[in-house]
């Protein structure tokens, strides 16, 4: 029932986004002639950077391709080609107008007026809503594409499936040994994320259902189980055969790929895949969100970009990035 209500609420929200007075749909927004000078200030999460960049490069006429980010976190990224003579601006010029601050900071930058439109790994959180209310700022947010929270382990771990209830019991500390879920007789190290990360917000709201998670400060756990970066669980699980962590499906399958060896677990007998996410059979399906300030002028480039993301052309670009676009 909760899944059905979630789908209905998303549908209603999308309808409100696309329909104006009299129920008429907002027409397709064409941004083919936009240039960097008029481009709005954008921000994003680590896991939504590829889709933000792909949309920007398409609209700004910058060639691009997937490549390894050897200078960053050893992930695959959408790499631009600013040296082929087709662009009138440099990569530094691009970065000055297109930040990647992470989920929480992206929302705070939008609330504080430091950026104009964002693509984030989740909807606005309670803390961010409180901050926006304090400043008298209201954000317009809408689900943009389908993602999911997946659970990852070392490939040597014989456990390939957990139930939703077993996941919750591992992360409340009720289940502490892999033999309790069909694995070897060894203590489980449950890796968690920092409080303001998009992954942690999804874990608490999508999976835990109000249950209190281990916090890394209890005597039975080490502080090191808290990961402050997207890559933290991967780095730990490469060397920890008995750990478990969680991460966005897109980040794992499109950005990490084979660079950091982990295995995704099935949950309730359903393996995470584009098909199981699209059909909503996988239990922890979520969405990424686009957001803009309600006070934004509807004739501004920021608002037009926000609208464009939900058009057919925008959805095609989102699908190209590897996400599953939510289409009207």
Q: Give the pLDDT of the chain (328 residues) as one tens digit per residue.
A: 333 334 334 434 443 443 333 333 445 677 878 999 999 999 999 999 999 999 999 999 999 999 998 776 679 999 998 876 667 889 999 999 999 999 999 999 999 999 999 999 999 999 999 999 999 999 999 999 999 999 999 999 999 999 999 999 999 999 999 999 999 999 999 999 888 788 888 999 999 999 999 875 555 545 456 666 788 899 899 999 999 999 999 999 999 998 888 999 999 999 999 999 999 999 999 999 999 999 999 999 999 999 999 999 999 999 999 999 998 7
- Split into its structural domains, the chain has a count of 2
Shared domain check, 140 and 8: yes
Q: Say whether both 235 and 163 belong to one domain.
A: yes
pLDDT at 21: 34
Task: Please check whether residues 135 and 264 belong to one and the same domain.
Answer: no
Considering the domain architecture, whether residues 101 and 157 belong to the same structural domain is answered as no
Contact present, 296 and 116 (Cβ < 8 Å):
yes
CATH number, domain of 194, equals 3.40.190.10
What global pTM score does this model have? Answer: 0.85
Q: Are 116 and 221 part of one and the same domain?
A: no
Residues 57 and 14 in one domain: yes
Look up the domain containing 48 and give its range. 2-146+287-325
pLDDT at position 231, please?
A: 86
């Amino acid at each position: 029932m909760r899944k059905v209500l979630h789908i209905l609420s998303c549908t209603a929200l999308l309808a409100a986004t696309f329909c104006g007075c009299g129920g008429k749909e907002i027409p397709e927004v064409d941004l083919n002639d936009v240039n960097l000078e008029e481009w709005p200030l954008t921000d994003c999460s680590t896991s939504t950077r590829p889709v933000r960049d792909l949309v920007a490069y398409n609209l700004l006429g910058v060639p691009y391709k997937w490549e390894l980010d050897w200078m960053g976190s050893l992930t695959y990224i959408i790499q631009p080609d600013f040296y082929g003579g087709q662009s009138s601006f440099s990569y530094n010029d691009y970065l000055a107008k297109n930040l990647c601050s992470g989920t929480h900071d992206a929302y705070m930058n939008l609330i504080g007026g430091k950026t104009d439109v964002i693509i984030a790994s989740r909807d606005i959180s309670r803390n961010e809503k409180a901050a926006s209310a304090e400043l008298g700022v209201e954000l317009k947010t809408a689900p943009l594409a389908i993602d999911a929270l997946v659970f990852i382990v070392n490939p040597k771990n014989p456990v390939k499936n957990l139930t939703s209830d077993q996941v919750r019991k591992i992360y409340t500390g009720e289940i502490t040994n892999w033999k309790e879920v069909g694995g070897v007789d060894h203590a489980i190290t449950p890796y968690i994320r920092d409080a303001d990360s998009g992954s942690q917000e999804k874990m608490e709201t999508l999976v835990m259902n109000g249950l209190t998670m281990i916090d890394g400060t209890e005597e039975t756990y080490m502080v090191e189980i808290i990961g402050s970066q997207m890559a933290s669980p991967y780095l730990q699980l490469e060397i920890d055969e008995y750990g478990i962590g969680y991460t966005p499906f897109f980040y794992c399958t499109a950005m990490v790929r084979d660079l950091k060896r982990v295995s995704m677990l099935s949950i309730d007998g359903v393996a995470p895949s584009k098909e199981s996410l699209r059909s909503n059979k996988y239990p922890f399906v979520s969405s990424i969100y686009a957001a803009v300030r309600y006070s934004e002028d509807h004739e501004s480039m920021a608002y037009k970009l926000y609208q464009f993301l939900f058009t057919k052309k925008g959805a095609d670009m989102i699908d190209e990035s590897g996400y599953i676009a939510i289409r009207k």
